Structure 1
Amino acid sequence: MRAQMKTQRLLLRWLEPEDAKAVQAGCNNWNVARMLAVVPHPYPDGLAEEWIAGHANQRARGLGSAFAITLEGTLIGVVGIDNQKTGEFELGYWLGEAYWGKGFATEAAQAAVTIGFADLGVGHLTSGYFEENAASGSVLTKCGFEYSGKSNRHCLARGEDMPSHDLVMTRDRWIDGLVQQGS
């Protein structure tokens, strides 16, 4: 799996230990944490270091990886593909609040989808978003994900289950999108 990917405005790269402070700061924002399933709030000291340290093993086992989303050298969020929790490869992402609404999430998610299909060779990707987070739904549909159902997902930061929309993208749909872009 590639260590980095350049998009029009961003560089996605493997997370490094020195990113821990920025990850903790981003995840410690309630407006970010409350929209994510597996991020606690407040975000405890040492958790980002521990999380980042586990990525090399995750990559070595073919379970995907998380990438720092950087803009002009500054970490503005994280995007990743992993299959540790659901048994399926799942796309997840977050951006620091100051970077919302500028198209960065879509740009980073599209790059991560390419990594999932091109580098990991997955047959399909899943993702989802809490019902109240329509902006995330928009990101996923712009990337080519299709609605596959509703569920309740636990939100660690809120300590409760939240209504969620589930989405999926197949390898064939991704390839069709590439062909359409080339025409």
Structure 2
Amino acid sequence: MAKFEPIVTERLVLRPFEARDRVRLIKLANNWRVAKNLSTMPFPYTEAAADTWLSMQEGLWAGGKTVTLVIDSGGELIGGIGVGVRDHDEWEMGYWLGEPYWNRGYVSEAARVLRDYAFDALKLDKIVAGHYPDNHASGAILTKLGFRYTKETMRQSLALGAKVKCLDMALPRERWLALRSPMDENGKRLATREPVTLAVSAAQMVREERNSR
């Protein structure tokens, strides 16, 4: 995997998964209250599941169509977030957070900077996302980020072992541009934009991989 410069926010670091994340990944992901809200996370979340996920990382990045990152607080994994090609060549954002870290605004903080990274650095035209109807917290986060409901779909849930109704949402580039923070008199955005700058080398890597395929 080419070197990825971590994306730094006020309280978090978004970085690639590493072997050292294995123990924390198993501990936090092996939680029904986390897994039931996700389509691709199995439950129970076993050591084998963690090993499979970690072993997939280099291949996912090498394909140039996925950016998967640890949500790191204080040097430890507290969750995961990413954006990658799903259906119909659409780039979809997804995330999860360990239960001990809920209700602290961590997902909003991480998702906001990844949203900006995807548009600013990856030059995407649109990001899609989705949440289950009873996951109101995720729906609120996406709405705050500018996503709007588009349609209902049925998605296979590994944890539930069945297809589940999902509320699909989308954020086109034009709406994101309208939501961007204003600049001050020096041309600097009032909201921190440094994380995207730190990640430009990674964005170039992803774009080059996409264009070479």
Query: What is the TM-score with the length of structure 2 in the denominator?
Result: 0.79
Indicate whether 1:139 and 2:141 are aligned.
yes
- Indicate how the Cα distance of structure 1 residues 86 and 74 shifts in structure 2: closer, same or farther if over 3 A, else same: farther
Q: Distance between the aligned counterparts of 2:65 and 2:172, measured in 1?
A: 18
Residue matched to 2:165? 163
Residue matched to 1:38? 40
Counterpart contact for 1:64–1:120, Cα < 8 Å: no
Q: Distance between the aligned counterparts of 2:161 and 2:93, measured in 1?
A: 22
Residue matched to 1:73? 75
- Indicate how the Cα distance of structure 1 residues 10 and 166 shifts in structure 2: closer, same or farther if over 3 A, else same: same
Indicate whether 1:107 and 2:116 are aligned.
no
Query: What is the TM-score with the length of structure 1 in the denominator?
Result: 0.91
Counterpart contact for 1:64–1:82, Cα < 8 Å: yes
SS at match of 2:11: coil
Q: Compute the displacement of 1:12 (Å).
A: 0.7
Counterpart contact for 1:124–1:171, Cα < 8 Å: yes
Q: Distance between the aligned counterparts of 1:14 and 1:164, measured in 2?
A: 27
Residue matched to 2:60? 58
Q: Distance between the aligned counterparts of 2:15 and 2:41, measured in 1?
A: 21
SS at match of 2:47: coil
After superposing the two structures, state which structure 1 stretch, 60-69 or 33-42, moved more.
Answer: 60-69
Q: Compute the displacement of 1:68 (Å).
A: 0.6
Amino acid at match of 1:65: V
Q: Compute the displacement of 1:53 (Å).
A: 2.5
Q: Which runs of 5+ in 2 are unaligned?
A: 184-188, 191-213
Indicate whether 1:16 and 2:47 are aligned.
no
Residue matched to 1:26? 28
Of residues 152, 175, 179, the one that matches 2:177 is 175
> How high is the sequence identity, in percent, across the aligned residues?
33
Q: Compute the displacement of 1:45 (Å).
A: 1.8
Q: Compute the displacement of 1:49 (Å).
A: 2.4
Residue matched to 2:93? 91
- Indicate how the Cα distance of structure 1 residues 110 and 63 shifts in structure 2: closer, same or farther if over 3 A, else same: same
Q: Distance between the aligned counterparts of 2:135 and 2:179, measured in 1?
A: 25
Q: Distance between the aligned counterparts of 1:164 and 1:79, measured in 2?
A: 18
Q: Which has the larger radius of gyration?
A: 2
Q: Compute the displacement of 1:180 (Å).
A: 4.5
RMSD in angstroms over aligned alpha carbons? 1.9
Indicate whether 1:119 and 2:121 are aligned.
yes
- Higher strand residue share: 1
Counterpart contact for 1:2–1:119, Cα < 8 Å: no
Q: Compute the displacement of 1:36 (Å).
A: 0.4
Q: Distance between the aligned counterparts of 2:158 and 2:58, measured in 1?
A: 25
